[in-house]
A and B are shown apart, each in its own frame.
Chain A
Amino acid sequence: NAGVTQTPKFQVLKTGQSMTLQCAQDMNHNSMYWYRQDPGMGLRLIYYSASEGTTDKGEVPNGYNVSRLNKREFSLRLESAAPSQTSVYFCASSERLGGAGNTIYFGEGSWLTVV
């Protein structure tokens, strides 16, 4: 029962470097999300994909890009990493968009440090 799998688990980047966080779900869900969580804070939505072929901005999209590669995979790219992007990143998926009685399943998180 893999659920939502994201890689890498840990990554250290230098300022200005680029990297892609990978995410895949095996629950045949339509909607996928990327959240970031800073120490002692809640989860903030970066980007989401309501269904295959669509992506939309969330609360904090600046500095990020996403790709919904297919129904299973949703990647998050940092084109030029900045120290302010040091955070824990969570990928998530749900059967459909939103939370109206719709459970969201999260991956285990990716700890990213930008130095």
Chain B
Amino acid sequence: GQSLEQPSEVTAVEGAIVQINCTYQTSGFYGLSWYQQHDGGAPTFLSYNALDGLEETGRFSSFLSRSDSYGYLLLQELQMKDSASYFCAAPEGATNKLIFGTGTLLAVQP
């Protein structure tokens, strides 16, 4: 089966940098995506990595290492509004339907 593991919670202070890790086991690999979900809201797409390396989108960056089956989301210049849950997600093998990780709750403190 396929699984994506993330830390359950991360705490950081406003203005800091935080890294949220994701390790995965998949049958085949078709890229790693990241989604943000505020409490009570819908998940929204943040970033996607198909190849090794860093993808930057403003304050958010995502990194992938396929040889290590590992990726992370990097959030810089943290703001209070970044307090949310963050999910990594990957397509499941041949069916290619998206499976989500367990999610990381980020708490940004003043």
Which residue numbers of A lie inside 8 Å of B, CB to CB? Answer: 33, 35, 40-45, 48, 56, 58-59, 90, 94, 97-101, 103-109
A99 touches B89 (CB 8 A): yes
> Residue B110 at the A interface, CB < 8 A?
no
**Complex Cα spacing A109 to B40, Å:** 8
Render B17-47 as a binary contact track against A, CB cut-off 8 A, 1 for contact.
0000000000000110101000011111100
Chain B contacts for A33, CB-based, 8 A? 97-98
Which residues of B6-20 are within 8 A (CB) of A? 8
25 contacts across the A-B interface (CB closer than 8 A): A33-B97, A35-B100, A42-B101, A43-B87, A44-B100, A45-B97, A58-B97, A59-B99, A90-B43, A97-B95, A97-B97, A98-B91, A98-B96, A99-B48, A99-B96, A100-B31, A100-B91, A103-B33, A103-B45, A103-B48, A104-B45, A106-B42, A106-B43, A108-B42, A109-B40
Render B65-95 as a binary contact track against A, CB cut-off 8 A, 1 for contact.
0000000000000000000000101110001
Q: Give the interface residue-count category, chain B.
A: 20 to 34
B42 touches A99 (CB 8 A): no
A45 touches B99 (CB 8 A): yes
Q: A42-B87, A42-B102 are in contact. Are A100 and B96 (CB under 8 A)?
A: yes
**Complex Cα spacing A84 to B100, Å:** 20
B89 touches A106 (CB 8 A): no
